[in-house]
Each structure stands twice: as C-alpha cells, then as structure tokens.
A = this chain, B = another copy of it.
Amino acid sequence: MGRPHKPLLDRVRITTTALELVDEQGDFSVPQIARRLGVQTASVYHHVDGRDGIVELLRERVCAAIDSGTLDERPWETAVAAWARSYRAAFAAHPKAIPLLTTSPVRAPRVLEQYEKAVALLLDAGFALPDVMPVIIALENLVLGSALDMAAPEAMWELTDEAATPQLARALAAVAGGPTDRSFELALAGYLAHVRRLLNAP
C-alpha cells in the first residue's frame, strides 16, 4: 500500500466537521474539531487561519449553495428576487449557522465577489450609491429571518388552552399548508415595491 490519496486533514474536512458541530450546537471550537477528526488541536491550526479562518470557510461553504448566476438576470427585480430565494434556501439548510455568520465580518473572497455582483446590479439599475448597501442589507434581513422561519416546526404555535387565545386559534386555523412561503413572498413583494420607489425618487 502506498500513501493514502487524501491527507488525513484538509480544509474541506475541517469545514465539514465545523459545519456538523454548528448544525448541532450553533457553534464550534477548534479542540472539538480536532477531537472529531482524531488529531491534535495544533494540527488543525496548521491548516487554517485560526478560528476566524474556519468561520470564513463555513461562510464559503454555506454561500456556495447560493446561485450567484441569478445576479446576471435582468431586469434587476427578477435578479434580486431570484437571488433572495436562492440565498434563503442556502441558509435555511443551516439555520444555526446564521448568528455565527452574521456576527463576524465577511472576509471570504468568493463571498465578497457575490456582494460585488449585487452592488454592480443595483448601480447598473440606477440606484444611488448611498442607497445600495441599505437595499442589500434590508433584503438580507428578510431573507435570513425567513430562512430561520423555514427551519421552524410545522406547528409553531402550540395552544394548550385555546380559550386563552381564541383569535390566534382562528387565525392559525385559517392558514392552510403553513404560512412560511406566503409570508416570505409577501415581505419580498413589499420590499421590491418600496425599493423601486427609491429608484424613481428625484
């Protein structure tokens, strides 16, 4: 037998293990990763740029599921809506990663490239420069909020005593098939309509 084709430890395996931990616990530590991989903690640090480097590998992994080709579509509303839906699905697969990724700065080059494309799309559509980041961040707010909602239990409200909250009971009974997608599309439509007005403002 020659040497194994794959090294025991590489960035892909470190990222996969970190993501497993985050999916389970909402966080990871480098010693935990080392334990799962059966190596010394120092060996993990040998492959990555510290804990922050692992967070960026996680960000790249999760964001790789976003179809950035959507940002090439035109008109801009079509591109933004398609990007938002793909972005939402990517993060809904890893809801516990959301606070970790939103509370540390974005450094991963491939993710920054995706923002560059989004900025270019909006500038190209005619948005004023100071409006561009608020427009992107407002979209991310509703995308990430809805991604969390996609990970919610089907019966999100458990009324043990319907008499205490009769109107809530009626409102829940009136929503067939779960309101998650409808809520997102409603928020997205409102967002797009409002943002369109920024474009036509003097």
On A, residues with C-beta under 8 Å from B are: 25-27, 95-96, 98-100, 102-107, 109, 112-113, 115-116, 119-120, 123, 129-130, 132-135, 137-146, 148-149, 151-153, 155-161, 164-168, 170-172, 174-176, 179-180, 182-184, 186-187, 189-195, 198
Contacts and interface: CB of A to CB of B under 8 A. Distances in A.
Contact of A193 (B96, B161, B174, B194): B194
A153 B103 contact: yes
A123 B167 contact: yes
23 contacts: A25-B25, A26-B96, A26-B99, A26-B100, A98-B99, A103-B148, A105-B153, A107-B158, A112-B168, A116-B165, A129-B170, A130-B174, A130-B175, A138-B142, A138-B183, A138-B184, A138-B187, A143-B145, A186-B195, A187-B187, A191-B194, A193-B193, A194-B194
Most buried by B among A148, A153, A164: A148
A175 B119 CA distance: 13
Given A112-B165, A135-B186, A141-B183, A149 B102 contact: yes
A20 to B, nearest CB: 14
A157 B106 contact: yes
A164 B111 CA distance: 12
B132 A174 contact: yes
Given A26-B100, A148-B103, A134 B179 contact: yes
Contacts of A152: 102-103
Given A142-B187, A148-B144, A159 B104 contact: no
Contact of A171 (B133, B171, B186): B133
A161 B195 CA distance: 30
A130 B178 CA distance: 11
Contacts of A123: 167, 171
B171 A141 contact: no
A122 to B, nearest CB: 8
